[in-house]
Chain A
Amino acid sequence: MDVFLWVIVPYLCLTTFVVGHFWRYRYDKFGWTTRSSQLYEDRLLRIGSPLFHFGMLGVVGGHVIGLLIPESWTDAVGISTEMYHVAAVGGGLVAGVMALVGMVILIYRRRTVGPVFSATTNMDKVMYAFLGAAIALGMWNTIAGSILSVGGHYDYREGVSVWYRSFLAFQPQPELMGEAPIGFQLHALVAFALFALWPFTRLVHVFSAPVGYLTRPYIVYRSRDDVQLGSHSSRRGWERIDK
């Protein structure tokens, strides 16, 4: 069972994530967008969207630190477990609450503002369910696990994180995850399901974060017959060959 849940399912999800993105980018560049609904409504969006997104950036950053950096490294730099714990829980709570509140505002907006609701696809709804569940479970783990110590103390940096790094290194140690509290297990499973859904949702816009904007020249010039004709790339099999 451990092997199925903590080896097979995660790798399947990861494969879907990678291959799915490749496929979506190859065949649906036109559909690759944020699908913003700001045009319809922007009073709630103005509060909810930055809250959610900046919160999520914090959450993602926290996960990167927590999952990818081994405890031995932080020990070596001289960060004690207590210091780390306080920073992680503090930062995690702030970012998590921001993301959660932002998301509640955004979902409320999505449900109550007519045009926004009618522009919501089924895939959006499924995605929101998984994303919401992942955030809620994550918050539960932080609050119940680290602050209230419900069900005893659990140091994820010696369990979940090690498993995650072993998973990324293709040397999975499923037993580590099997020992983790149910909250962490559910959080990981929901997150992997979200990764599998990712390429088929509007979440793809995460990978077009426009950091190149900081370095490119302001005005872009393009030759008419540079790479393609018109403003779309050619359909497969219809590319120009004389260049």
Chain B
Amino acid sequence: MKIMAQMAMVMNLDKCIGCHTCSVTCKQAWTNRTGTEYVWFNNVETRPGQGYPRTYEDQEKWKGGWELNKRGRLKLKAGGRFKKLATIFSNPKMPSIQDYYEPWTYDYSTLTDAPAQEHTPVARPKSLLTGKDMKITWSSNWDDNLGGSAATLEHDPMLKKIADKVKFEFEQTFMFYLPRICEHCLNPSCAASCPSGAIYKREEDGIVLVDQDKCRGWRMCISGCPYKKIYFNHKTGKAEKCTFCFPRIEVGLPTVCAETCVGRLRYIGLMLYDADKVLEAATTTDEHGLYEAQREVFLDPNDPEVQREAEKAGIPRDWVQAAQRSPIYALINRFKVALPLHPEYRTMPMVWYIPPLSPVVDVVKDTGFDAEDKGNLFAAIDALRIPIEYLAELFTAGDVAPVDGVLKKLAAMRSYMRDINMGREADASIPEAVGMTEEEMYDMYRLLAIAKYDERYVIPAAHAEQAHSLEELGTECSVSEYGGGQQDLFGEGSGSPVPIAVENFQMLQERQTADSLASPADKSSRVNLLNWDGKGTPEGLFPRRSDDEEATP
């Protein structure tokens, strides 16, 4: 057994209102630079829909991820090492900028500069790639809320798979949102595709990162990732990806997308897993078995045997404790309501989803029946095959049974909790019908409905002794701004990077978790005015008063 820890996320899709706050805050934090205008480490898709980049899920077209070869062994779908090197001069499967979208801005200055004229001046869209006028035809969420999907929906690769059963009519429509970040897979095909070996998985927390100094811009990761979550920075010529906000995670803060999520639908925590079993699980012959196989790879942090192994593997005690409290473990392995996104890509993704019950509830509600009644909901889940099959294409490689099971649990929770909230006798038969105890059902309700900040995000900080040395040395982020250098000579992005100090994140964490308005007591008298939000008087901002000095000689 080779035990490793993985930082993972679960998103509860029932709560997603598609507000894009996660995308916007992520973009503000990481990709608001030239070269990454079109890049969304976090994006929210309306499903059914084509997604971003367009039809990225169609692996017959893009050849991302892994597949089994004739002998039943795992191989990269786009071809092995020799094929990669042979096609290195022109990656045949790389999406073009048109598959994402051509980034643009507006010529706002004409609004104020234009001479007096009969018609109101307009700000024309200008391409950020060429600077010329352009016609906007697509963007990262062009089909938001099914907008225009009468024309584009037929291209949804997942809908195509069940197309023989569905004639899409808007009277029978269903819709939900799918926020996506990098999956930080256990078996990342991007890393396997990288000729330079620049993409690596961190041993401590399993976060997948691109070493910006080792990346040579061969672009194989971009086509290798089936989720198309590695992006090419067209100014620096390097690959960039979601970093799981590792500078924040290291000090125990959740990612920006989770922190700012309006619906509080994201959960972050640790999973312990057996690295020796990953390959075997990814090689599972039956695609429908992949979800279960991946669940088998995870280890129970409450098992004394696992704890001993973790200690041997050098996983700190507080990390094991965090794994025990992990909401991710609870949702995936205890309640079994979270499902992986596209297990059939065989990358063992680690951002999981609780499928939405709301399309079903809405249908029941629209027909005038009681949408909180177990019987009605169960019947609807059985009857509404199209949405269920669609969800199954997303989360279980088309296997309807697990999705069915999860939705019934969620439906059971609804009707079970209604009895309690109405002051009626709790009906023990409801949890029983979905194979849960009353206590489990209540715990699940607590975690899904009212879990507070520290229950949703159980993130052990990087080690104190490490944290100390991290400080001031500055951890440098793969996507920090690059200053200096001979820009004209070597192209943009050359030169030395400007480090971002962990100190900033430490102070941010202290501020967000502190009860008082005071400054941190253990800090020396240095003040970062950028972090000072005006509350209190941080130590070192003003000279000490003489009586203070007497008190602390």
Residues of chain A touching chain B, judged by Cβ–Cβ distance below 8 Å, are 27-42, 45-46, 49-50, 52-54, 114-115, 118-119, 121-124, 200-202, 205, 208, 210-214, 216, 218-225, 229-235, 238, 240, 242
- The answer on a CB contact under 8 Å between B90 and A46 is yes
Alpha-carbon distance between A40 and B200 when the two chains are bound, in angstroms: 27
- Please report which residues of chain B, range 79-115, place their CB below 8 angstroms from some CB of chain A when the two chains form the complex: 81-82, 84-85, 88-92, 94, 96-97
Contacts A/B (CB < 8 Å), 14 sampled:
A31-B485, A33-B238, A35-B217, A52-B89, A114-B132, A115-B127, A118-B130, A123-B489, A124-B491, A214-B81, A214-B85, A224-B202, A224-B466, A229-B475
Q: How many A-B residue pairs have CB under 8 A?
A: 201
Residues in chain B within 8 A of chain A (CB atoms): 81-82, 84-85, 88-92, 94, 96-97, 127, 129-132, 187-188, 191-192, 194-197, 199-205, 209-219, 232, 234-238, 243, 247, 462, 466, 469-470, 473-478, 480, 482, 485, 488-491, 493-497, 499
B188 touches A34 (CB 8 A): no
Q: Give Cα A211 to B191, complex, Å.
A: 16
Contact B210 A30 (CB under 8 A): no
CB <8 Å contact, A212 and B201: no
Chain A residue contacts of B217, Cβ below 8 A: 33-36, 205
Residues on the B chain within 8 Å of A221, using CB: 200-203
A30 CA to B422 CA in the complex, in Å? 62
Contact status B197-A223, CB under 8 Å: no
Nearest-Cβ distance from residue A94 to partner chain B, whole angstroms: 17
**Smallest CB separation, B341 vs chain A (Å):** 20
Main SS at interface, chain A = loop
Q: Given A40-B234, A200-B489, A213-B195, A31 and B477 touching (CB < 8 A)?
A: no
Contacts A36-B232, A210-B216 known; A27 to B203 CB distance under 8 Å? no
Which of A28, A225, A229 contacts B494 (CB under 8 A)? A28
Min Cβ gap A42→B in Å is 6
- Find the residue from A35, A49, A230 having the highest chain B CB count within 10 A: A230
Nearest CB in chain A to that of B187: its residue: A219
Chain B, residue nearest A220 (CB): B200
CB distance from A107 to the nearest CB of B (A): 16
Chain B residues within 8 Å of A53, by CB: 89
Contact B96 A219 (CB under 8 A): no
In the complex, what residues of A have CB within 8 A of residue B215's CB?
33
A224 shortest CB reach to chain B, Å: 5
Query: What residues of chain B lie closer than 8 Å to A49, measured between beta carbons?
Result: 89-90
Per the bound structure, the CA–CA distance linking A234 and B500 in Å amounts to 12
Smallest CB-CB separation from A24: which chain B residue?
B490
Assess the A231–B476 pair: CB atoms within 8 A.
yes
Contact indicator A30/B219 (Cβ below 8 Å): no
A39–B474 CB distance below 8 A: no
Q: Which of A31, A33, A39 contacts B97 (CB 8 A)?
A: A39
How long is the Cα–Cα vector from A186 to B274 in the complex, in angstroms? 63
Chain B residues with Cβ under 8 A from A229's Cβ? 470, 473-476
Contacting B219 at CB < 8 Å: which of A38, A115, A123? A38
Chain B's nearest CB lies how many Å from the CB of A216? Answer: 6
Question: Do B218 and A210 have beta carbons less than 8 Å apart?
Answer: yes
In the bound complex, do residue A234 and residue B473 qualify as a contact, i.e. CB atoms below 8 Å apart?
A: yes
Cβ B477 vs Cβ A219 within 8 A: no
CA distance A230 to B200 in the complex (A): 12
Residue of A nearest to B214 (CB): A29
Known A-B contacts A229-B476, A232-B212; the reply to A39 vs B490 at CB < 8 A is no
The 8 Å CB contact of A230, one of B232, B475, B490, is B475
Of the candidates B82, B234, B474, the one having the most CB atoms from chain A within 10 angstroms of its own CB is B234
Cα distance A219–B89 in the bound complex, in angstroms: 23
From A239, which residue of chain B is reached at the shortest CB distance? B473
A208-B196, A213-B84, A224-B466 known, 9 other contacts, Cβ within 8 Å: A31-B493, A33-B238, A36-B237, A50-B90, A210-B85, A218-B192, A230-B499, A232-B499, A240-B469
Complex CA–CA separation, A49 to B91 (angstroms): 10
B98 to chain A, nearest CB (A): 10
Chain A's closest residue to B131 (CB) is: A118
With a cutoff of 8 Å between Cβ atoms, the chain A residues found around residue B81 in the complex are 213-214
Residues of B within 8 A of A225 (CB): 466
Interface centre among B195, B218, B477, B490 (most CB of A within 10 A): B490
A37 adjacent to B234 (CB under 8 Å)? yes
Quote the shortest CB–CB distance from A142 to chain B (angstroms).
24
A220 to B238, CA, bound (A): 18
Is B90 a contact partner of A38 (Cβ separation < 8 A)? yes
Q: Is the CB of B199 within 8 A of A220?
A: yes
A220, B473: Cβ atoms closer than 8 Å = no
The answer on a CB contact under 8 Å between B91 and A202 is: no
B237 engages A34 (CB within 8 Å): yes
Minimum Cβ distance to chain A for residue B297 (Å): 14
Closest to A124 in B: B491
Instruction: Please state if B211 and A231 are interface contacts (CB–CB under 8 Å).
Output: yes
Q: A28-B494, A36-B217, A205-B216 are in contact. Are A46 and B477 (CB under 8 A)?
A: no
